[in-house]
Amino acid sequence: MTQPQHTGGRVNVLTKPAVIGSIEELRSRLTDAQSRIESARAGRGEAGLGRPRIVLVPTMGALHAGHLTLVRRARSLGDIVVVSIFVNPLQFGVGEDLGSYPRMLEADVAALAAEGVPFVFAPTSQLMYPDGAASTRVVAGAVGSLFEGAARPGHFDGMLTVVAKLFNIVGPDVAVFGQKDAQQVFLVERMLADLNFRTRIEVVPIVREDGGLALSSRNRALEPAQRAAARALSAGLEAAASVAAQGVGAALQAAHARIDVQPLVKLDYLVVVDPRTFLPVGGEHHGPARMLVAALVGHTRLIDNVALDLP
C-alpha cells in the first residue's frame, strides 16, 4: 500500500489511503505524520505554527457525495484527515438493518483516495467492543428519547458511545458532521460540552440530489417510484421555510400539504424545535427554529430538516 507523504504542509497520498484496523497502529501513524509535518515546517522556518491539526470524519461507510463533501471540508480545516468507517452495532435496534447495512470498504477507500485522504480507520466490532456490547455507555438523556430516539430506542446512546470512543482513539482537533442528522449533531455537541472534550465540531450543510432529496446511504434502497415520492419531504421543508414569517402553524401546514398527499410516504413525525434545546416549540415561538421530518418510504426510513426563521 502506498505510504502517506508530506505535501505542502499536509499529509497526502499518491494512490491509496492507509487502511488501519489497529488502535496502536493508527496512533503511531498519526504521531509520525505530525512529526513529519513539524519537521517540514521547521525546515521552512515555520516552527511557530503549532501542533499539526487532526480532523476526523466519522462514517459508517457506503460513502456518497455527501460524505465526500465532509471530507473536502475536513481537508480545509487541518493538516491530517482521518476517515473512520465502522458500522456501529450499538446504534441499531432489534429488527433494524444492521445485517443488511451496505458495506463496501474497497469502493469507499477508492473514493477517499481520489480526495487525498491519507488514513482510513476501519476497526472491527471485536476491536471496538472486545468484551461484547460495552457495559459503560454515554447516555443521551431526555432529548435522546425524542424523535429518532423514540422510533429507535437506544440509538443515540449507541451513537454517542462510539463517537466518544472514536474521539479518544483518534484525538482529533476537529470532527466534521453533516447537518442532515440534526438531532445527532445536537447531542454530540452537548456531549462535548458536558464531558469537556477538546474536540470541536464542524457542521456541513445538507447535500441534496437534483430533485432535492437529502443524500443518504439508504437512498440506494429506494425504487424509482419511491425516490420520486420521497422528494415530497424536501419539498415540504422548502414550503415551510417559504412561509415561516407567518409562524409555526403556517410552516407546519405548508409542509403537510406537500407531504401528506404522497401515498408512498408514511410520515413518522413533522415537528419544529428550538435549536438551543431541541425541544418542540409552541405556536408563539419567535427566532431561530428547525423543522424535522422523518418518514418511511417503502421499507426505507428517511430523515431531513431545515432551518426556519420565525420573526
| Rg of the chain taking only CA atoms, in angstroms | 21
- If DSSP codes are grouped into helix, strand and coil, which group holds residue 119? strand
- The pLDDT value recorded for residue 96 is 79
- The pLDDT value recorded for residue 274 is 98
Rounded Cα distance, 32 and 235, in Å: 48
% of residues, the chain, pLDDT over 90: 85
Rounded Cα distance, 225 and 218, in Å: 15
Position 7 confidence tier, pLDDT thresholds 50, 70, 90: very low
Closest Cα to residue 86, out of 69, 96, 98?
98
Position 194 confidence tier, pLDDT thresholds 50, 70, 90: very high
Q: Which of 67, 155, 256, 285 is catalytic?
A: 67
Q: Does the annotation list 212 as a binding residue?
A: no
Q: What is the grid cell recorded at 238? A: 422548502
Closest Cα to residue 180, out of 86, 303, 307, 57?
303
Position 25 confidence tier, pLDDT thresholds 50, 70, 90: very high
Q: Does the annotation list 64 as a binding residue?
A: yes
Measured in degrees and rounded to the nearest 5, phi and psi for residue 251 equal: -65, -45
Asked whether 304 and 290 are in contact (CB, 8 A), the reply is no
Q: Does the annotation list 207 as a binding residue?
A: yes
CB count within 10 Å of CB 46 equals 12
pLDDT tens per residue, range 104-144: 999 999 999 999 999 999 999 999 999 987 789 999 999 99
Position 190 confidence tier, pLDDT thresholds 50, 70, 90: very high
Q: What is the mean pLDDT of the chain?
A: 93
Predicted TM-score (pTM) of this structure:
0.92
In 63-121, alpha helices (H): 65-77, 105-114
Torsion sign across C-alpha atoms 176, 177, 179, 184: negative
**How does DSSP classify residue 272?**
E
Q: Does the annotation list 286 as a binding residue?
A: no
- The pLDDT value recorded for residue 10 is 57
pLDDT tens per residue, range 281-307: 999 999 999 999 999 999 999 999 999
Closest Cα to residue 250, out of 260, 259, 258, 240?
240
Active site residue 67: yes
pLDDT tens per residue, range 197-248: 999 999 999 999 999 999 999 899 999 999 999 999 999 999 999 999 999 9
Closest Cα to residue 291, out of 253, 264, 261, 265?
253
- The pLDDT value recorded for residue 261 is 97
Measured in degrees and rounded to the nearest 5, phi and psi for residue 12 equal: -135, 175
For residue 311, CA distances in Å to 142, 241, 254, 277 come to 28, 12, 17, 18
Q: Does the annotation list 60 as a binding residue?
A: yes
Q: Does the annotation list 181 as a binding residue?
A: yes
Rounded Cα distance, 131 and 219, in Å: 34
Rounded Cα distance, 110 and 244, in Å: 42
13 pLDDT higher than 70: no
pLDDT tens per residue, range 48-61: 778 999 999 999 99
